[in-house]
Amino acid sequence: MNCLYTKGNREEIISSRLASVQVLQEAILKSNNPPQVCIQAGSLAIFGDTTEICHEDSDHGTGFSVDVCERWEAAFFKDEWPHTRKVLLRIGFALGDNGGALGPLQRLAKFNLGGTIGSGRQYISWLHMDDLNEMFVQAIENEQYDGIYNATGPNPVTNKEFMKTLRKVMNKGWAPPAPAPFVKLGAYIIMRADPSLALTGRKCIPKRLQAEGFQFRHTNLEGALRDIID
């Protein structure tokens, strides 16, 4: 959903999610040899913009992104798939070495622009790609996995802390903050993306994964970033 939320883009975002679920469902239900499990990607954005701790059963937020997530999840779980176990991973801010969510922030830090974004109090629920990949493996191989999981690390941090740690790992010193009005202007004019992607956040924990005994390889942000960037 990294775009401006025009009427056309909103309609395309919603239809792409719902249509893909419908196509998968039709294929699985018609299959003579249906898969034992189907894993659906979801988003932690369903919790909206909040600093409260969010686990799988926490209240949802409000706004367009929340509405998309709710409709997406409802479509996935609407009908019974008799021979296929359903797992939905609400994926957080995944950190990897091939761009992705981390790429734009690395570029800002590279040019000494990696300061606090907005208030800096918005939370980033991050996880290392190694852990995300293992979550998919476990969801496939472990039949206990069923339903909705927050696919994020156990230690979310504020944007201020995240950017400070990123600068440290990249051997960058202080960088000027980016006040909310400038972020909004840059988002609309330069990045052509909705500014809420940078100015909002949520403090999510992987309660169900931890209850099922999932072992995280990366729980410290600095260590995770050094593993990726160094």
* Pairing relationship of beta strands 123-124 and 157-158 according to DSSP bridges: antiparallel
* Pairing relationship of beta strands 37-43 and 157-158 according to DSSP bridges: unpaired
Q: How is 63-74 classified by DSSP, letter by letter?
A: SHHHHHHHHHHH
Closest CA to 45 of 1, 101, 102: 1
Are 47 and 140 in contact, with CB atoms under 8 Å apart? no
- Give the three-state DSSP class for 151: strand
Closest CA to 117 of 166, 156, 61: 166
pLDDT per residue rounded down to tens, the chain (230 residues): 567 788 898 999 999 999 999 999 999 999 999 999 999 999 999 999 999 999 999 999 999 999 999 999 999 999 999 999 999 999 999 999 987 889 888 988 998 889 999 999 999 999 999 999 999 999 999 999 999 999 999 999 999 999 999 999 999 999 999 898 877 777 666 556 677 778 999 999 999 999 999 999 999 999 999 999 97
- The stretches of the chain forming alpha helices (DSSP H) are 7-30, 64-77, 102-110, 129-141, 159-169, 180-186, 196-199, 207-211, 221-229
With a CB cutoff of 8 Å and minimum separation 6, the contacts of 203 are: 50, 51, 52, 53, 54, 123, 125, 156
